[in-house]
Structure 1
């Protein structure tokens, strides 16, 4: 059962369809996988480049905020009123309450120009606080370490980081240099900054269009700002470009500011970078499915178009198996299919022709056997009678008549033998049969009949169909010589064509010959392919011609030359090899 199903599937159409679909599937998979890999890599690289550009821009913005803070503190420290008040303090003139209030109002007025400033604190050169109005000194406020750094910076802003007293805020410190006293130390300005001052995640989101996180850390990798929900320390100390946290992979792009030494990082989930990859994958799958469907329909149409003519030709061949050999109608297809169809039609035509030839040959043979059977009515009685007659004539010393009776007996034996092995005889045996026939005819025609037989000894053993030549001789005697009142001669000549593989047999007479009308009639009979059973003049020629073509092929035929008053010559060529 399984074998039958497999055989039913194992058709040329299904094989072509399967091969086409297999090739298309391989091509679609290769193109799809390659496209997905290339485009996804390109999308990821473009996203990373965009993030790097964003980091650069964010770092520039961060430096701009730092410069803004530096410029603000510089304005305060170089303000003339601030310089005068601190110079007065250095000269030993202590500031009164009112002067401190005015100084605080002036400094705080700068706070309106920057949203991220929480407060300002002003200290004298000996670390005493001018405002806010309390007695805490700068060393206790920050520690001597940061004070020394501010002094070493010589008027430049120093980033301290988290406020020791209030870690929620950041602190910067700047030493004030007195311009009217050769830029000698005159005090210190401390600025408390809100963390929101450095917060610009909306900028990151608008630039990257991705779900990104930003981390800003100072030189010591102390976080200044971070909106990352995970462990920011691991991110800050990561050496690789990608990190894993909570089962999710992140890409880390960082840049160090040459101005501040701060490190700015943008952390983006890999899944956010590959949002378009999922759409790309679905698009490729959908396009591949559509392409596969279109190619399936095309392959089905093409395989059907290729195999349909072959199926028609196969059905025509299957009808031939049932005995119905008919040509296949013309097919409008490829050159190869048309050539195959034409070859099959030619083969059918040849087979039908061979069937017709074999049929006609068997018909002729059947008729010959029927005639032989009819002639074999008690043949032993006939031969015994002729034998008794022969010996009776010998006893009466009628030698001539006895020879005639003997010739008749041999002639009958030669003619009525119908065994298949006697269907072919040697040329010598056929010529001997003709001699006996002519001897009998001599009894009838007397001295009016002469004959001449010429055959090379090399042709004696060539095998020919029995009674192939004798009917021609009989026709020459009856229709050629029989109408004459004077002497008539019959010639039987066998010529060995050494330059070819044929021999030429010629039967000629010097009778009256044939007029044009008779020749046309005879030629028409010879060219008629139907098997004739008619009797009369010319039928011997027709039967011999038909047997010649049946045994040796249609290219073999009798050639007749005849002129009125000049006799008739009948030529036939047969191969030296004998049976074909």
Structure 2
């Protein structure tokens, strides 16, 4: 062992229980038998015995510059104690170890033995063991150090480390700068990532906004080509559904206007300058009265009132009173034409005269009863019309009855199909009325027709309070 570790081990001594000893090392050291008795009486020997095989560090030997270490030795056969082993370890080996410790972090290492004598240090600082007693900090040569200590295992040596506060602050500053740099990099990354995600998520919304703006500017309904399961997908489907409903409402409004125009054209049969007609009828009326032709004057006056209502464009202010003016003028003409072949009864509740009503929805029902019955009947046709409010005063009910021969089945089939075919136009008067009532108020507001060979009853309702606007139920 000395040959292999001569830089560490100085000498080896083996003492038996009987006092015999063996020695290997420089000839400088000779331990005689009298020395063993002194060793047995020392505290170092007692520590070796108490260690029972563990290494015990003894005192420093200045003569050889070594530290003494010892332990008990046991026999292999029965593990009984045979003697003790004493070794001298060169102190220079301990010093060389601490001199090799890196001090780039301004850390100083100091080692004190059990007698509080400094064994080794790489600090070069003028300190003693008492300078570290119960302290956490130490100021030396205007430099402040942090103290940390630990007992070396199997010895009573004390290992003390001094760390410069300046080095700690410098390392902390570097760590702080590195932390700020990492935070800045991550913050920039998350900002860019959030911008990308925001643009990616908002891209469908921006497209939807452009489509809505384009639809508003160009009056052209464009659907949103996006389908998904998230909130944007639901918004897309709602937008497309809204476009379908708007398109349907536009089509219904167009069909309603078309039907109104067809009704007006059907009533007028031609586009004639109304002022010319009014002036002509006033001339006929004046000339007839001057010449004593009262019936001709009345007839021309009725025709003038009828045409004035027909040419009116104020449909929003049109009410039952205006419709009755038109009906009265029309019946006056027909009464003059058919004389005693028709008998007409009109009953109108005065309280409903100002209720709004679609233009020309009553006259076609009377016209249907007259035109399709008088010429085909051998008896006078009785026609009665009743207009009144229902019991709840929520609707105005219009009833027209006649005692004619009824309505043909094929015409009734057309009437039934009028509510199921939204794209078909109905130039016939009664079908036109049926369709316009449903377009204005809803599917439940069409004509109700009961017909038989003994006569026909036609009725319909219009709401008294229609402040919610036109309802489209088809």
TM-score between both structures, scaled by the size of structure 1: 0.55
Segments of 5+ residues of structure 2 without an aligned counterpart are 1-8, 33-38, 45-57, 69-86, 100-104, 470-474
SS in structure 2 at match of 1:439: helix
Residue deviations 1:72-121 (CA, integer Å, cap 9, x gap): 8x99xx989xxxxxxxxxxxxxxxxxxxxxxxxxxxx97x4567x96579
> Does the alignment pair 1:542 with 2:440?
no
> Does the alignment pair 1:379 with 2:277?
yes
2:123 corresponds in structure 1 to 229
Distance 1:570 1:480 in 2: 15
1:346 corresponds in structure 2 to 241
Contact 2:400 2:458 in 1 (8 A): yes
Segments of 5+ residues of structure 1 without an aligned counterpart are 1-64, 81-108, 123-152, 173-192
The structure with more helix, counted as a fraction of residues: 1
> Does the alignment pair 1:470 with 2:359?
no
Distance 1:576 1:346 in 2: 32
> Does the alignment pair 1:356 with 2:245?
no
Distance 1:340 1:244 in 2: 72
Distance 1:157 1:119 in 2: 21
Out of 452, 456, 461, the position equivalent to 1:568 is: 456
SS in structure 2 at match of 1:321: helix
Aligned in 2, Cα 1:304/1:480: closer, same or farther, shift over 3 Å? farther
Distance 2:152 2:414 in 1: 121
Residue deviations 1:480-524 (CA, integer Å, cap 9, x gap): 333212111112122422236212212222211123223213433
Comparing 520-529 with 469-478, greater Cα deviation is found at: 520-529
1:488 corresponds in structure 2 to 381
Distance 1:269 1:578 in 2: 92
Distance 2:238 2:94 in 1: 86
Out of 429, 441, 466, the position equivalent to 1:552 is: 441
Distance 1:463 1:348 in 2: 30
> Does the alignment pair 1:448 with 2:341?
yes
SS in structure 1 at match of 2:127: helix
Residue deviations 1:316-353 (CA, integer Å, cap 9, x gap): 4344234331332461332x333222221221112212
Distance 1:79 1:415 in 2: 149
> Does the alignment pair 1:460 with 2:353?
yes
Distance 1:405 1:197 in 2: 146
Distance 1:235 1:555 in 2: 109
Contact 1:198 1:225 in 2 (8 A): no
1:410 corresponds in structure 2 to 305
Out of 280, 287, 291, the position equivalent to 1:389 is: 287
SS in structure 2 at match of 1:480: coil
Aligned residues: 405
Distance 1:285 1:518 in 2: 88
Residue deviations 1:446-491 (CA, integer Å, cap 9, x gap): 2220112222232222222332211221121111333212111112
TM-score between both structures, scaled by the size of structure 2: 0.65
Distance 2:129 2:431 in 1: 115
Out of 319, 331, 350, the position equivalent to 1:426 is: 319
Aligned in 2, Cα 1:375/1:467: closer, same or farther, shift over 3 Å? farther
Shift of residue 572 of structure 1? 1.7
Aligned in 2, Cα 1:408/1:300: closer, same or farther, shift over 3 Å? closer
Distance 1:213 1:571 in 2: 114
Aligned in 2, Cα 1:485/1:330: closer, same or farther, shift over 3 Å? farther
Residue deviations 1:520-546 (CA, integer Å, cap 9, x gap): 134335654347485xxxx11133234
Distance 2:158 2:340 in 1: 144
Residue deviations 1:357-377 (CA, integer Å, cap 9, x gap): 333444456667885852515
Q: Does 1 or 2 have the higher relative contact order (CA < 8 Å, sep 6+)?
A: 1
Comparing 463-472 with 446-455, greater Cα deviation is found at: 463-472
Distance 2:398 2:288 in 1: 34
Out of 202, 205, 223, the position equivalent to 1:327 is: 223
Give 1 or 2 for the bigger CA radius of gyration. 1
Distance 1:433 1:79 in 2: 152
